[in-house]
Chains A and B, each alone.
Chain A
Amino acid sequence: MTPQFNRDAPVLEVRSLSKGFTMHHLGAQMAAFDDISFQLRAGEFLLLKGRNGAGKSTLLRALYRSYLPGGGEILFHSSHGVIDLARAADVDVSLLRKTEMGFVTQFLTARPRVSAEALVAEPLRLSGVAQEDALEQARHWLDAFGVKRTLWAAYPTTFSGGEQQKVNLARALILPQRLLLLDEPTASLDASARAALIDRLSELKSRGTAMVGVFHHPGDVAQLIDSEIDLTPDVKSLEERENVVV
């Protein structure tokens, strides 16, 4: 497959981003991170590192606007044009989340009486894919992540933790997006699901998805990493690795 995207096209330009929390009940302010800047082009993978509490999840959530950034800019080059996610209107952020920005965590938000395959197909349906086609693709990805066929039409509310996580990954990765944020998606996955995840990520990467991720065992994704940021205070540095060709 030849990539049909421009490798030099910027996807994300983060400039002097900062985030702190005001905890009113304590009358306290706490800085999570300060003055973070980086650039990400199509198909690039940025690894976030740092000790527990360094602010990795906080940075990912700020990029997705689940957390409100304190200062700085998050310029996202979307298909509609460039927009600063730190200040964009809520409805614009909602729109971009539907088709251009994905967020993968370890946890599935199951809903009562919604089958695994319907849950996985939902992102495709919301982006305009016809029901049957969406379901067919959903089954493909459930299979790829190792969810037993007998569970496809069942409700994930009763699935085991590992099964739910696989459904979650299938749902999060079914729709190729311009920007993908990953918060420890491999934690507690079995080996075959982990391999399926890495395969899918490298496929998405080769098709131009830009990624920012936190991985408990970065070794898992070593071949995908283009650059790293360490958020541990005083280690702040952006190391460029040799560009690894996939």
Chain B
Amino acid sequence: MTLTLDAPRFVETKPLLTARNLSKSYGDVQALRDVSATVYPGEVLGIVGESGSGKSTFLRCLNLEETPDAGSYSLDLPDVQGNLFDLDRYGRRMLCATRIGIVYQNPHLGLLMGHSSSGNVAERLLVAGERRFEVLRDKARNALDASEFPLDRMDAPPIELSGGMQQRVQLAKAIALEPALLLLDEPTTGLDVSVQALVLDTLKRLQQERRITMVIVSHDLGVIRTLSDRVMVMRRGAVVEEGLADQVFQDPQHSYTQQLVHAKL
């Protein structure tokens, strides 16, 4: 039973992110089946679903680390045109460095664990072409500060830091260039509950103050509920349901979503 809603009538801005019919297989495993998503500027889209349902694969596609077998992806930004999967490696790298930030569950994927934390953040700025040492240091400091990272530790390498602080370094790196799009893959999973709450609070604050458009994946429905405007539910590579966050949680339509929500209540 899928009820189709009307197209937006009052919201006149165009979606920032439009992904259409992404499909991706790894051998026999179909990781994505016809996945489409639209995200408006300033909106937070939450993605939930069982393990192996394709959530991380979808985020890797949005971060242009992965190319789907079929489908298109566009961002409504000045100087950015067409299907982004058509970009070459250099084009992808520049777009990601300047417009897209990502935070992974595993900090090893996003950080050089032996380099200084400030260096990790500055590296992102270097890729984007900044060479002035003072500017690099200032911007790295500001981004770490905005991520509520303790500045007296900014020269420590992530390997020496707690999990919560490592996530803040990833976040600082992701927001250093004021990206149009922030992708978060299980940003609080594996952290202590109290640290989780603090990182979540930082994300909420950044979202409110900077109106950053976000796509966040988490198994923690509390995290999704706190941050998201809309929620998309995935199962076996496909989207089974999407809607306003409160509606998906309070009045889930699909049997899988009902299971998921009731299991957590």
Report which of B1, B198, B243, B250 forms a contact with A90, defined as CB distance below 8 A.
B243
B residues near A111, Cβ cutoff 8 Å = 201, 204, 226
Q: Which of B9, B198, B254 contacts A81 (CB 8 A)?
A: B9
A216 to B259, CA, bound (A): 32
Interface size class on chain A is 20 to 34
**Would you call A94 an interface residue if the criterion is a C-beta within 8 Å of the partner chain's C-beta atoms?**
yes
B258 and A24 contact, CB distance less than 8 A: yes
Residues from 44 to 59 in B contacting A, C-beta threshold 8 Å: none
Residue of A66, A84, A96 with most partner-chain B CB within 10 A: A66
Confirm or deny: A65 has a beta carbon within 8 angstroms of a beta carbon on chain B. yes
CA distance A96 to B8 in the complex (A): 12
A 84-95 binary contact with B (CB < 8 Å = 1; else 0): 100111111111
B5 within 8 A of A: yes
Contact of B246 among A25, A66, A84, A88 (CB under 8 A): A66
Number of B residues near A (Cβ < 8 Å) is 31
Chain A residue with the shortest CB-CB distance to B262 = A25
Q: Is B3 within 8 A of A92, CB to CB?
A: no
Q: Quote the shortest CB–CB distance from A70 to chain B (angstroms).
A: 9
Shortest CB–CB separation between residue A127 and chain B, in angstroms? 14
B197: Cβ under 8 A from any A Cβ: yes
Closest to B1 in A: A22
A89 touches B250 (CB 8 A): no
* Min C-beta distance of A44 to chain B, whole Å: 24
Contacts of B66 in A (CB 8 A): none
In the complex, residue of chain B having the shortest beta-carbon distance to the beta carbon of A61: B250
B3 to chain A, nearest CB (A): 7
Q: Is the CB of A91 within 8 A of B204?
A: no
A22 touches B9 (CB 8 A): no
- The listed residue (B3, B9, B204) touching A83 by CB distance below 8 A is B9
Given contacts A25-B259, A67-B250, contact A89 B226 (CB under 8 A): no
Give chain A residues whose Cβ lies under 8 Å from the Cβ of B230: 90, 94
Q: Are B247 and A68 in contact (CB under 8 A)?
A: yes
Residues of A within 8 A of B43 (CB): 91, 94
Closest A residue to B258 using CB positions: A24
Q: Report the Cα distance A24→B257, complex, angstroms.
A: 10
Residue B90, interface by CB 8 Å? no
Name the distance in Å between A130's Cβ and chain B's nearest Cβ.
15
Q: Mark A167-209, 1 if CB is under 8 A from B, else 0.
A: 0000000000000000000000000000000000000000000
Q: Which residues of A contact B251 (CB under 8 A)?
A: 21, 61, 66-68
> In angstroms, how far is the closest chain B Cβ from the Cβ of A201?
24
Q: Is A219 at the interface (CB under 8 A from chain B)?
A: no
* Nearest CB in chain B: distance from A236 CB, A: 23
**Chain A residues with CB under 8 A of B11:** 89, 91-92, 95
Residues 237-265 of B, flagged 1 when their CB comes within 8 A of A and 0 if not, give 00000011011001101110011001000
Q: Is B6 an interface residue (CB 8 A)?
A: yes
Q: Is B229 an interface residue (CB 8 A)?
A: yes
A66 touches B8 (CB 8 A): no
State the CA gap A80–B9 with chains docked (Å): 9
Q: Is A94 in contact with B5, judged by CB distance below 8 angstroms?
A: no
> Which of B7, B9, B204, B244 is close to A65, meaning CB atoms less than 8 Å apart?
B244
Interface contact A92-B244, CB-CB below 8 Å: no
Q: Mark B9-53, 1 if CB is under 8 A from A, else 0.
A: 111000000000000000000000000000010010000000000
Q: Is A246 part of the contact surface with B, judged by Cβ < 8 Å? A: no
Assembly CA distance A84 to B4 (angstroms):
13
Besides A66-B250, A67-B250, 10 other A-B contacts (C-beta < 8 A): A25-B255, A25-B262, A80-B9, A89-B6, A89-B8, A92-B6, A94-B43, A94-B229, A111-B204, A112-B200
Chain A positions near chain B (C-beta within 8 angstroms): 21-25, 61, 65-68, 78, 80-81, 83-84, 87-96, 111-114
